[in-house]
Structure formats: structure tokens, C-alpha cells
């Protein structure tokens, strides 16, 4: 097993069955996986903010900072690697409102941005562990597409 770490405002993908993509400390950030079992390709995105409209210049240099541009770029990458729209399975974790974030509600806004984007493109979320006020770690197992979320040492499969 080879673990590939996805940092904040980052996306990684793989076609190797021995890989596990992982991102740590999803607080208000959103972790999004997309996996095509037929093509054997998947990706994991760790997005910091909901939309690129707050900083179009940053979105040009790093689209993975934002949910909307990050998901779009991840899907384009997976398509180039052989994924098909009808085979992609999406799962999401994170989007917590940490430390009483009642002013900015970044986590809630990240979730809303993702759901609006997916709904507009008629894409269904197959599994989620979002909201609340707890941090999460997210794993995508490339051999099966299994997504596991770890919170306080306990694993939950999406």
C-alpha cells in the first residue's frame, strides 16, 4: 500500500490499485472524492473555500483552493485518464463550522457550493459525512473505491 497525501488546496489522483489517497484535518475545508471503478481511476480534492469569485487570480494559479473550480478541474483530469461521467461516484466529507464560526460559516458555504455545482450538473453524492464541528481525515482506497472517514480514531465507511 502506498499512501498519497493531499494537502490543503490540493488534488491528487491515481490509477494504481495499491494507492490510498488521504487528506488530513478536514475542518471547514471540504474533501471530495470521485472514483470510476471501470477505468480504475480516482481523485481526492481538499478545497479551502467555496467559490473562486473571492479571488479569481488565485483560482487561476491554484483552482484546487476553491470547491467550484477544484471539482471541475478534478473531473477534467479524471476524464483525461479514462473516467466516464456515468461511472464517477462522488463522496464528500468535512465542511464543519469550526470554533463557533457563526460569522463566516465557511464549512456550510463549502457544502452549499458543492451541492449547487453537482445539482446543476445532475450529479448525485453517493456518500457524505459533513457539517457539525469536528475534524475529519478522509481516505480513498484505489483498489475498490472505498472511502473511509476517520474522526477521533473511529473509522466510518461512506
What is the number of other CB atoms lying within 10 angstroms of the CB of residue 79?
Answer: 15
Q: What is the pLDDT of residues 103-155, one digit of tens each?
A: 568 888 899 999 999 889 888 899 999 988 889 999 999 999 999 999 999 99
Q: Where are the alpha helices (DSSP H) in 49-105?
A: 56-61, 67-80
pLDDT for 74 beyond 90: yes
Q: Where are the domains of the chain?
A: 2-157
**Domain 2-157: which CATH number of 3.40.50.2300, 3.40.50.150, 3.30.1330.200, 3.50.4.10:** 3.30.1330.200
User: How far apart, in Å, are the Cα atoms of 66 and each of 4, 43, 71, 80?
Assistant: 21, 15, 8, 21
User: How far apart, in Å, are the Cα atoms of 145 and each of 2, 15, 23, 87, 148?
Assistant: 15, 11, 15, 12, 10
CA distance 149 to 23: 10
The string over 9-22, giving b where at least 16 C-beta atoms fall within 10 Å of a residue's C-beta and e elsewhere, is bbbbbbeeeebbbb
pTM: 0.92
By the 8 A CB rule, do 145 and 42 touch? yes
pLDDT for 101 beyond 70: no
Which of 40-49, 95-104, 132-141 is the least confident region? 95-104
Confidence at 60, pLDDT banded by 50, 70, 90: confident
Measured between its terminal Cα atoms, the distance across the chain in Å is 20
Amino acid at each position: 500500500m502506498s499512501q498519497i497525501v493531499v494537502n490543503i488546496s490540493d488534488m491528487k489522483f491515481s490509477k494504481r490499485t495499491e494507492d490510498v489517497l488521504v487528506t488530513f484535518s478536514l475542518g471547514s475545508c471540504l474533501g471530495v472524492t470521485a472514483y470510476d471503478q471501470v477505468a480504475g481511476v480516482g481523485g481526492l480534492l481538499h478545497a479551502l473555500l467555496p467559490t473562486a469569485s473571492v479571488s479569481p487570480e488565485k483560482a487561476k494559479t491554484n483552482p484546487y483552493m476553491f470547491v467550484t473550480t477544484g471539482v471541475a478541474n478534478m473531473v477534467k483530469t479524471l476524464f483525461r485518464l479514462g473516467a466516464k461521467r456515468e461511472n464517477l461516484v462522488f463522496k464528500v466529507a468535512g465542511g464543519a463550522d469550526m470554533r463557533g464560526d457563526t460569522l463566516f460559516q465557511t464549512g456550510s458555504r463549502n457544502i452549499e457550493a458543492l451541492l449547487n455545482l453537482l445539482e446543476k450538473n445532475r450529479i448525485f453524492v453517493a456518500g457524505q459525512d459533513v457539517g457539525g464541528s469536528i475534524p475529519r481525515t478522509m481516505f480513498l482506497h484505489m483498489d475498490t473505491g472505498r472511502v473511509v472517514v476517520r474522526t477521533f480514531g473511529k473509522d466510518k465507511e461512506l
